[in-house]
Each structure stands twice: as structure tokens, then as C-alpha cells.
């Protein structure tokens, strides 16, 4: 049985951890270094760090914060936000990240994914896909870029397949509608992508209770379980979640 990993997500704005609902209405959730220490102590298997306004503000990821987090983390961590070139990816990895997450730039310039996979290895390349429902597309989901602001007209599952073919080692789909709503992950989106690719898929957007994590594995087929606000605000403790998953037949690391 595969071991499912738990991945808290630090959404970073102006050097602080923040969390919103459907990508807006952000509220402060603490210092990223302190959050990282706590999550590592509580049993996190991975960590995500997303500089959520970097792309919209047309700037690079805040490398000083990446370095500070790298200095205290005891688990692998993935960094995204504002990574638009191979040099950006190289700088983030040099600052201590284990993987880079590429979204808008990878969509606009798919050759970036090929170059990054060739330079660093596919295992270090995560492709993040923000998606929302669009019944006119084959999968029913459309890719959004620029922090979820710009519709592309592209089918999300088809883009996941292309991203894998270009070199993505992990796919990270996030449902715009479910993000921060705590009503559960978008299971059809996760399952649609999981069924279409061979690489690991991260469930993201919508976890509000432990049952949602279990559904993401048993129904969606997710390999990694990402969440933010339920961890940031102490609603779910990672160690308790992992025990719950094990008690319900899901192996954890």
C-alpha cells in the first residue's frame, strides 16, 4: 500500500503566512519560520511555500524568506510563485528549496518545463494547475493562470497530461471554487487528473475536516494531501490527522 504524505501549505504575502477563501480575503496566519517549525514537530511529511502575489506583482519569489524556511525545515519543501525562467528556478533551489512549483509561466511557455526537468530532474518540477468548473470542456474543468485571475479556455486534465509529457514530476491541482471553503476537496478534479497521469498528484483546496482528507485518497486517489487554514489555525493537528487516516486504512509516512 502506498504511503500518503501530508503537506501543509504556507501561502506567503509580504513575508507573512496568509490564507483566504477562493484566492481572496486574505488574513494573517503567522510567521513562516515559526509555522514551519511547528509543522515539522507535528509530523508533516512535506511543506509547500507559495508566494501567492509574485506573479501578479510581476516580481520574483522572496528568496530571503525561502532561505529562512530552509534553515529550519526538517522535511522536503516545494516553492512556487513568480518562477518564470530557468534562472528563477535555479535561484529558488539554491536558496534551499527541494522542488519548484511552476504555474502561469509553464502554461505560457511549456518549454520551461522541459528545460527545468532536463536541468534539475523531473522529481524537482511540480506543475500547479488552478482550475474552475467549465462544463463546455471535456473534463468539465478549465485552467486559470495569474493567481487564478485569468481564464485560459484550456481543459485542466488535458493540460495535466501535457505538463507530465513536458517533464512535470508532480501535478498540483487546486480548485478555485473549493479553495479555503473547507467544504471538501474537488474530488472529480483530483480523480480526473490522477486517472490521466502517471506521476503523483497533490490534493489541494477545500479541506475542512479529517473526512475530506480520507475522501481525497480513497475517492480522488491523491498521493499527497495539502492543506493550509485547518493547520494554520489549529483546527486539525497533523499527528491526529495521520492517526485518523491510519485508523481508516490509509498508510501514512
- DSSP secondary structure letter of residue 57: T
CA distance 141 to 82: 24
CA distance 164 to 170: 8
Whether 252 is covered by a domain: the verdict is no
> pLDDT tens digits for 75-120?
999 999 889 999 999 999 999 999 999 999 999 999 999 999 999 9
Whether 139 is covered by a domain: the verdict is yes
Q: 52, 81 in Cβ contact below 8 A?
A: yes
Q: 147, 55 in Cβ contact below 8 A?
A: yes
Structural domain harbouring 240: 5-247
Please give the model's pTM, rounded to 2 decimal places.
0.91
| Active-site annotation, residues | 11, 130
Whether 227 is covered by a domain: the verdict is yes
CA distance 226 to 9: 6
Q: Residue 193 is part of a domain; what is its CATH number? A: 3.20.20.70
How many distinct structural domains can be found in the chain?
1
> pLDDT tens digits for 119-134?
999 999 999 999 999 9
For all residues of the chain together, what is the average pLDDT?
A: 90
Cell of 155: 481543459
Whether 221 is covered by a domain: the verdict is yes
Band of residue 198 on the pLDDT scale cut at 50, 70, 90: very high
Cβ within 8 Å of residue 30, ≥6 positions away:
16, 17, 232
Please report, in angstroms and rounded to a whole number, the separation of the first and last CA atoms in the chain. 11
Whether 253 is covered by a domain: the verdict is no
Whether 65 is covered by a domain: the verdict is yes
Whether 38 is covered by a domain: the verdict is yes
The answer on pLDDT for 237 being more than 60 is yes
Amino acid at each position: 500500500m502506498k504511503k500518503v504524505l501530508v503537506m501543509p501549505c504556507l501561502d506567503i504575502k509580504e513575508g507573512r503566512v496568509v490564507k483566504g477563501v477562493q484566492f481572496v480575503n486574505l488574513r494573517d496566519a503567522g510567521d513562516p519560520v515559526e509555522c514551519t517549525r511547528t509543522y515539522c514537530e507535528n509530523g508533516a511529511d512535506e511543506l509547500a511555500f507559495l508566494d501567492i502575489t509574485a506573479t501578479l506583482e510581476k516580481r520574483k519569489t522572496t528568496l530571503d524568506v525561502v532561505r529562512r524556511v530552509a534553515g529550519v525545515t526538517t522535511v522536503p519543501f516545494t516553492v512556487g510563485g513568480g518562477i518564470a525562467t530557468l534562472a528563477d528556478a535555479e535561484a529558488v533551489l539554491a536558496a534551499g528549496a527541494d522542488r519548484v512549483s511552476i504555474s502561469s509561466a509553464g502554461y505560457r511557455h511549456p518549454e520551461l518545463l522541459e528545460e527545468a526537468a532536463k536541468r534539475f530532474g523531473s522529481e524537482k518540477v511540480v506543475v500547479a494547475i488552478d482550475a474552475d468548473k467549465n462544463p463546455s470542456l471535456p473534463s468539465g474543468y478549465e485552467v486559470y493562470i495569474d493567481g487564478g485571475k485569468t481564464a485560459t479556455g484550456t481543459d485542466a486534465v488535458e493540460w495535466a497530461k501535457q505538463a507530465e509529457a513536458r517533464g512535470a514530476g508532480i501535478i498540483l491541482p487546486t480548485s478555485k471554487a473549493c479553495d479555503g471553503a473547507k467544504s471538501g476537496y474537488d474530488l472529480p478534479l483530483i480523480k480526473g487528473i490522477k486517472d490521466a497521469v502517471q506521476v503523483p498528484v497533490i490534493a489541494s483546496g477545500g479541506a475542512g475536516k479529517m473526512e475530506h482528507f480520507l475522501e481525497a485518497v480513497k475517492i480522488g486517489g491523491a498521493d499527497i494531501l495539502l492543506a493550509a487554514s485547518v493547520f494554520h489555525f489549529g483546527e486539525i493537528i497533523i499527528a491526529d490527522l495521520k492517526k485518523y487516516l491510519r485508523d481508516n486504512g490509509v498508510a501514512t509516512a
